[in-house]
């Protein structure tokens, strides 16, 4: 048995943010029914690359879900939603604003009394009210990175830029999943569901807690940006320092002991004679003022050997070190196989595909065996039958959904 067996989720989410949240629920046994528009379905289905006709980006975030195609512009389609909600535990959407669901009569206020045990979860760009909502500003990964301060830290040759991965969408998705699970736990005590929400902007601000409390309470002293030293000229020069080796790059993080002890350990590990006695690196504050000189002192030494020769020497001194890999290289790490992070699924039409699986491991109630992401409308008949529609009604509904 998985942790969420028996839980029904009516899922209106699309693209990344919302599907990332409902993927957590599906991974752990919830029946997640994707409500998809006729013809197009989830917008992510249009994103390549494709494998045997199926979008791989879509497939990566919709494992073990069911697809039900219905036309929400028809009363019959809304009737299907209400039939589903009679036995549902959670409704999730990540539309730009609540007006989409309001127009359908599916906003929380319209459903609260009719389905008192329903947890109604909303992921948005900025929240459910406020100046961005008032002007109907679209939410997006790049907007959240820019508005939160993240892009200002990730500076390239031409200035600030977007981080090359969907950190806002995935952070928001994981937070929304947490909110849903918290509301379900609360329902066990109160007997009632509730409205829960988070936003891309909220998530990006919450992940900067190391730095935001300082800014809010004592202001910006110019000493750090919350990254330790990785991206700030006044941070620790050995926190996330990157050195080129004979065959690649190593990231080195030398922390958690007095700086003079670190210098002695580095001197011994690297054979860098005189490093510990160099007055420029006597303590952290002095080293901050000579970070370029410290890097210049260490870089030629690292360049003398390949990465795999340096790693055991540094690890013997308990200095954190790792090769800087591509994502493709990271996927070949045997640790991922040990952690069961790679899952193989096979669809009778699409064929075999491989994906990164759930990062959550529950010993007594493990995740379900991953099933392939659905083809559009693949489970329409199955879902309709499960909520009491006759075969004639199923055929009618499916026919109307594809008109």
pLDDT tens per residue across span 69-105:
999 999 999 999 999 999 999 999 999 877 889 999 9
Mark residue 338 as left, alpha or beta (left: phi above 0; alpha: psi -120 to 50; beta: remaining): alpha
- Give the model's pLDDT for residue 42: 95
Rounded Cα distance between 22 and 169, Å, is 13
Mean pLDDT of the residues in the chain: 93
Task: Look at residue 316 and tell me whether its pLDDT is greater than 70.
Answer: yes
- Give the model's pLDDT for residue 388: 94
346 falls in which pLDDT band (50, 70, 90)? very high
Helix axes 141-148, 167-190, angle to 10 degrees: 90
- Give the model's pLDDT for residue 167: 95
pLDDT tens per residue across span 30-69:
999 999 999 899 999 999 999 999 999 999 999 999 999 9
Say whether 169 is catalytic: yes
Q: Which pTM value belongs to this model?
A: 0.92
- Give the model's pLDDT for residue 153: 84
- Give the model's pLDDT for residue 104: 95
Mean pLDDT throughout 349-375? Answer: 95
Rounded Cα distance between 383 and 31, Å, is 10
Task: Look at residue 311 and tell me whether its pLDDT is greater than 60.
Answer: yes
187 falls in which pLDDT band (50, 70, 90)? very high
Catalytic residue among 89, 169, 202, 224: 169
Contact 279, 268 (CB under 8 A): no
pLDDT tens per residue across span 139-166:
999 999 999 999 988 888 888 889 898 9
- Give the model's pLDDT for residue 264: 95
Q: For residue 181, what are the CA distances in angstroms to 46, 64, 110, 185?
A: 30, 19, 22, 6
Task: Look at residue 11 and tell me whether its pLDDT is greater than 80.
Answer: yes
Q: Is 145 exposed, middle or buried (0-12, 13-18, 19+ CB in 10 A)?
A: buried
């Amino acid at each position: 048995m998985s942790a969420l067996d028996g839980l029904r989720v009516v899922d209106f989410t699309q693209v990344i943010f919302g599907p990332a949240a409902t993927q957590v629920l599906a991974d752990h046994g919830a029946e997640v029914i994707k409500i998809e528009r006729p013809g197009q379905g989830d917008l992510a289905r249009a994103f390549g690359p494709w494998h045997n006709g199926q979008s791989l980006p879509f497939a990566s975030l919709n494992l073990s879900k069911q697809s039900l195609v219905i036309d929400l512009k028809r009363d019959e389609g809304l009737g299907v939603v209400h039939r589903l909600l009679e036995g549902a535990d959670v409704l999730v959407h990540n539309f730009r604003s609540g007006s989409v669901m309001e127009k359908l009569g599916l906003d929380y206020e319209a459903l609260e009394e009719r389905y008192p045990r329903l947890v109604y979860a909303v992921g948005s760009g900025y929240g459910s009210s406020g100046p961005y909502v008032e002007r109907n500003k679209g939410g997006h990964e790049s907007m959240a990175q820019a508005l939160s301060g993240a892009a200002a830290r990730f500076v390239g040759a031409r200035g600030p830029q977007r981080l090359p991965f969907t950190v806002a969408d995935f952070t928001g998705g994981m937070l929304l999943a947490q909110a849903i699970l918290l509301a379900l736990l609360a329902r066990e005590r109160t007997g009632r569901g509730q409205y829960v929400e988070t936003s891309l902007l909220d998530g990006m601000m919450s992940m900067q807690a190391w730095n935001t409390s300082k800014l809010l309470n004592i202001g910006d002293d110019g000493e750090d940006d919350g990254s330790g030293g990785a991206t700030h000229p006044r941070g620790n020069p050995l926190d996330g320092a990157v050195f080129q080796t004979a065959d690649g790059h190593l990231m080195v993080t030398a922390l958690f002991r007095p700086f003079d002890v670190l210098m002695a350990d580095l001197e011994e590990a690297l054979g860098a004679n005189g490093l510990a006695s160099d007055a420029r690196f006597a303590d952290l504050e002095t080293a901050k003022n000579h970070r370029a000189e410290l890097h210049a002192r260490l870089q030629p030494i690292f360049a003398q050997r390949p990465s795999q020769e340096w790693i055991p020497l540094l690890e013997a001194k308990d200095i954190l070190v790792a090769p800087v890999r591509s994502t493709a290289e990271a996927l070949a790490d045997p640790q991922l196989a040990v952690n069961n992070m790679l899952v193989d699924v096979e669809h009778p039409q699409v064929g075999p595909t491989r994906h990164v699986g759930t990062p959550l491991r529950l010993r007594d109630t493990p995740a379900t065996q991953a099933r392939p992401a659905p083809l559009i409308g693949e489970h329409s008949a199955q879902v309709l039958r499960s909520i009491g529609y006759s075969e004639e009604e199923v055929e009618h509904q499916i026919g109307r959904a594809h008109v």
